[in-house]
C-alpha cells in the first residue's frame, strides 16, 4: 500500500504533504504509486477533488474521523478524512498495491510486487482480498488503522501548532512533525 | 496593647513606609511623663516616646530609628554570629520590635511596654500584606524610592485593619 | 548530601501545601508568545531578544524572591552550595514544579551548573528555522534573569547564562551560574 497524506487549512491551503509506503508485512516504507510519473500532482489533484465530499460528510455525524469518504477508481485511490475542530483537514490517500492474486497478498512480501508500475484497474481485486491492512482499503481493520494513525497525527499536529513560532495558516515545516507522521505511518499503516 | 508607629526600610536604607497611630490617652501619658508641661507643645499624633521634641519631624524619627536598629543589628551579629539578630528592645516609655527579611527589608514597630513580642506579627505583615499587596502588585515598581508603590490603598487599609483588629 | 535532601523535602512540602497551581499550557503559551513577539519586534535580532528576556527575568526575580521567602520562610543560606540546592530544589520546584540537577561545581565552590531534564517553558517549542535562531536564541533566557534578580535581593551578585539547550539540538539544557561577589549592606546616605 502506498500513502499520500496532506494537511489542509480551513481555507484549503496545503500545510503539509508527505508520501510514504506501508511498513506492514515486510513493506519498506517507500511509496510506490501506480503511476510514478504523474503521482506527484495526480495525488494532490485526487485529494483536492474529494474536498466537496468532505464538506458534505462533515455534517453527517459529529465525529472527527470521517472514515473512507471518496474513491478515485482510475488510480484505485481511496481517500480517508479527518477533521479537526478548528477546521483543518487531514486527508489520506491510500492506494493498494496491484496484486496478481488474492492469495498471495498475505504471504508474499509486497515490496517485490510494488516495484513495477504497470497500469490496470485492480481496485476490485484488492478490495476483495484478505482483510490485511495492506491490501483492503475499506475493511474495518483498515478503517481502524487509519483512525489510529489520524489520531496520533492529530496529537502531534496540536503540539506543533502550539509552538509559539508557528502562526495560523503557515506551512508546517517542522522536521519533528514530519518524523512523527512518518513514525505514525510506520506504526499503524 | 497600643501600637504607636510602624516603619519599613528597604535594602537601600531608605524609609519606604511610615505610619503613626494615635498616642496613648493623655492621662496615661501625663502620669508617666516626667515633664508633663512639655506635653502641650507636642504634636497630637506623636507617641510619648518622642514627646517634648516637637521640632523633630517624622523624617528625623525614621532616620533615628534606622540608625538605631542598624547598629543594634550589627552589634547582635558581631556578638552572636552572622545569623543572629535582635528582636526587640524596650525603654521606660515604649518597646521597639524588629523583623528583618533575608532581602534586607526591615520592619519596625513601636508599641507600649506591656505588649508581647511582635516578631510574628511583623512577619505576618511582611508575608500577608507587604508581599501580597506591594510586591505582587504589577503596577508598583520593583524598588520603592520615596515609598512609591507601598502607599497603595489595599496595603494601607489592610495594615490599618491588622493593627486595629488583630493586635488590639 | 544533606542540604540537598533537606531542600528537596522543603520544596516538596511547599509545593503540596502553599502553592497555587496554574494550568501549565497557559504558562507555556504565554511565555512562548512573549518570546515570539520579542523576536518579531527586534526583527530577528536574537542577541537583543536574549538581553530583553534576561532583563524581564531580572525584574521578575526581584519580586519573586519576596514571594519565595514569604512562602518558604527559610533563612539565609550558609554558603553558595546551600544556595544552589535552595534554588534547584525549592525555588524551581515551587514556581515551575521542576527540580534541575546541581552539578559541575568548580573547586572554589563559586560556580555550578543547573541541568534541566524538563523545561515547562519550552514545551511544544520549535525554534524558527531561519538558520540563526538555533545558534543565537536562548529561548528560556528569562530564567537567567530571574536568578540574577532574586539573588541580588539576598545580597549575592551572580552571573547566569545558558550553555546548552535541547531546543538547539543539544543533548541537555544547562545553565551556568557563577557567584561574582556578596553584596555589602548599604548605609544610609550621609546628610549632615
Q: What is the pLDDT of residues C141-168, one digit of tens each?
A: 999 999 999 999 999 999 999 999 999 9
Find the residue in A nearest to C40 (Cα). A165
Distance of CA B59 to the CA centre of its chain: 13
Residue-wise pLDDT tens digits, C27-44: 999 999 999 999 999 998
Helix (H, G, I), strand (E, B) or coil at B38: helix
Nearest CA in chain B to C189: B13
Those chains having 3 or more beta-carbon pairs within 8 angstroms of chain C are A, B
**What is the ipTM metric for this complex?**
0.84
pLDDT band at B33 (very low <50, low <70, confident <90, very high): very low
Instruction: Give contacts of B102 with chain C, Cβ < 8 Å.
Output: 69, 74-76, 154
Q: Where are the beta strands (DSSP E) in A31-164?
A: 65-72, 77-83, 89-95
pLDDT (0 to 100) of residue B29: 43
Residue B50 has a pLDDT of: 47
Question: What is the rounded average pLDDT for all residues in chain C?
Answer: 92
The yes-or-no verdict on residue B49 having pLDDT over 80 is no
> Which chain A residue's Cα is nearest to C34?
A164
- Domain with A179, as residue range(s), is 2-101+114-188
Closest CA to C74 of C63, C92, C61, C87: C87
- pLDDT for res B23: 60
Closest-CA residue of chain B to C67? B131
The CATH number of the domain covering residues in C3-182: 3.30.1380.20
CA distance B95 to C167: 58
Q: In Å, what is the CA distance from B150 to each residue of B4, B17, B133, C146?
A: 19, 7, 8, 22
Please name the member of C32, C125, C129 whose beta carbon is closest to the beta carbon of A173.
C129
Q: Name which of C67, C154, C186 is nearest B13 (Cβ-Cβ).
A: C186
Listed residue (A83, A108, A88, A90) closest to A98, CA to CA: A108
Closest CA to B112 of B34, B37, B36, B25: B25
Q: What is the CATH number of the domain that holds A9?
A: 3.30.450.70
Helix (H, G, I), strand (E, B) or coil at C43: coil
Whether residue A13 lies inside any domain: the answer is yes
Query: Using 50, 70 and 90 to split pLDDT, how confident is the model at B22?
Result: low
Residues of chain B in contact with residue C185, where contact means CB-CB under 8 angstroms, are 104
In a domain, A109, yes or no: no
Pick left, alpha or beta for residue A5 (phi over 0 → left; psi -120 to 50 → alpha; otherwise beta): beta
The Cα–Cα gap between A174 and C128 comes to 9
pTM for the whole thing? 0.80
Q: Which residue segments constitute the domains of chain B, with CATH numbers given? A: 3-23+53-167 (3.30.450.70)
Q: If pLDDT is split at 50, 70 and 90, which confidence band does B140 have?
A: confident
DSSP for C125-147 reads -----SSSHHHH--TTTHHHHHH
Q: Is A162 on the interface with C (CB under 8 A)?
A: yes
pLDDT digits (tens, 9 = 90+) for C59-113: 999 999 999 999 998 888 889 999 999 999 999 999 999 999 999 999 999 999 9
Nearest to C127 among A160, A162, A165 (CB): A165
Nearest to C153 among B67, B103, B127 (CB): B103
Q: Mutating which of A158, A165, A170, A171 best tests the C interface, going by the most C Cβ atoms within 10 A?
A: A165
Task: Say yes or no to pLDDT of C24 above 50.
Answer: yes
Q: Residue A110: which residues within 8 A CB-CB, separation 6 or more?
A: A1, A22, A25, A26, A27, A97, A99, A134
CA distance B100 to B73: 10
The total number of structural domains that make up chain A: 1
Task: Please report whether residue A165 resides in a domain.
Answer: yes
The verdict on B72 touching C (C-beta cutoff 8 Å) is no
| Residue A44 maps to a domain | yes
Amino acid at each position: 500500500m502506498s500513502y499520500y497524506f496532506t494537511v489542509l487549512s480551513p481555507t484549503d491551503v496545503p500545510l503539509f504533504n508527505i508520501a510514504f509506503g506501508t511498513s506492514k508485512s515486510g513493506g519498506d516504507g517507500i511509496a510506490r504509486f501506480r503511476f510514478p510519473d504523474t503521482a506527484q500532482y495526480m495525488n494532490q489533484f485526487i485529494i483536492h477533488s474529494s474536498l466537496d465530499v468532505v464538506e458534505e460528510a462533515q455534517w453527517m455525524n459529529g465525529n472527527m474521523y470521517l472514515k473512507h469518504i471518496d474513491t478515485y477508481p482510475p488510480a484505485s485511490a481511496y481517500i480517508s478524512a479527518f477533521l479537526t475542530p478548528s477546521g483543518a483537514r487531514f486527508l489520506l490517500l491510500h492506494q493498494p498495491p496491484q496484486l496478481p492474486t488474492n492469495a498471495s497478498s498475505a504471504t508474499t512480501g509486497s515490496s517485490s510486487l510494488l516495484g513495477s508500475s504497470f497500469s490496470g484497474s485492480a481496485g476490485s481485486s484488492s478490495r476483495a482480498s484478505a482483510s490485511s491492512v495492506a491490501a483492503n482499503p475499506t475493511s474495518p481493520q483498515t478503517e481502524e488503522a487509519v483512525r489510529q494513525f489520524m489520531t496520533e497525527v492529530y496529537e502531534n499536529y496540536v503540539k506543533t501548532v502550539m509552538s509559539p513560532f508557528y502562526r495560523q495558516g503557515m506551512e508546517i515545516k517542522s522536521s519533528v512533525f514530519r518524523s512523527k507522521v512518518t513514525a505514525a505511518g510506520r506504526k499503524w499503516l | 496593647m497600643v501600637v504607636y508607629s510602624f516603619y519599613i526600610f528597604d535594602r537601600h536604607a531608605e524609609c519606604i513606609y511610615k505610619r503613626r497611630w494615635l498616642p496613648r490617652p493623655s492621662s496615661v501619658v501625663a502620669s508617666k511623663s516626667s515633664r508633663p508641661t512639655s506635653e502641650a507643645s507636642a504634636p497630637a499624633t506623636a507617641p510619648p516616646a518622642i514627646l517634648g521634641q516637637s521640632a523633630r519631624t517624622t523624617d528625623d524619627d525614621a532616620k533615628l530609628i534606622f540608625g538605631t536598629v542598624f547598629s543594634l543589628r550589627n552589634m547582635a551579629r558581631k556578638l552572636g554570629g552572622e545569623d543572629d539578630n535582635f528582636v526587640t528592645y524596650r525603654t521606660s516609655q515604649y518597646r521597639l520590635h524588629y523583623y528583618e527579611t533575608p532581602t534586607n527589608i526591615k520592619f519596625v514597630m513601636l508599641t507600649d511596654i506591656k505588649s508581647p513580642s511582635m516578631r510574628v506579627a511583623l512577619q505576618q505583615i511582611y508575608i500577608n500584606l507587604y508581599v501580597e499587596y506591594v510586591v505582587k502588585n504589577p503596577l508598583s515598581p520593583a524598588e520603592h524610592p520615596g515609598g512609591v508603590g507601598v502607599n497603595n490603598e489595599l496595603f494601607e487599609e489592610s495594615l490599618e485593619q491588622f493593627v486595629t483588629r488583630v493586635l488590639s | 548530601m544533606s542540604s540537598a535532601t533537606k531542600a528537596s523535602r522543603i520544596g516538596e512540602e511547599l509545593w503540596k501545601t502553599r502553592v497555587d497551581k496554574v494550568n501549565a499550557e497557559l504558562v507555556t503559551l504565554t511565555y512562548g508568545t512573549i518570546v515570539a513577539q520579542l523576536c518579531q519586534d527586534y526583527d530577528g535580532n536574537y542577541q537583543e531578544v536574549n538581553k530583553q528576556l534576561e532583563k524581564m527575568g531580572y525584574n521578575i526575580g526581584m519580586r519573586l524572591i519576596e514571594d519565595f521567602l514569604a512562602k518558604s520562610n527559610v533563612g539565609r543560606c550558609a554558603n553558595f552550595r546551600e544556595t544552589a540546592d535552595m534554588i534547584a530544589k525549592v525555588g524551581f520546584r515551587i514556581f515551575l514544579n521542576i527540580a534541575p540537577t546541581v552539578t559541575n561545581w568548580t573547586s572554589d565552590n563559586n560556580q555550578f551548573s543547573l541541568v534541566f531534564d524538563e523545561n515547562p517553558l519550552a514545551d511544544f517549542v520549535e525554534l524558527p528555522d531561519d538558520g540563526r535562531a538555533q545558534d543565537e536564541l536562548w529561548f528560556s533566557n528569562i530564567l537567567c534573569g530571574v536568578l540574577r534578580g532574586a539573588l541580588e535581593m539576598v545580597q549575592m551578585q551572580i552571573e547566569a547564562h545558558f550553555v546548552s539547550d535541547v531546543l538547539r539540538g543539544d543533548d541537555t539544557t544547562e545553565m551556568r551560574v557563577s557567584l561574582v561577589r556578596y553584596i555589602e549592606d548599604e548605609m544610609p546616605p550621609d546628610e549632615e
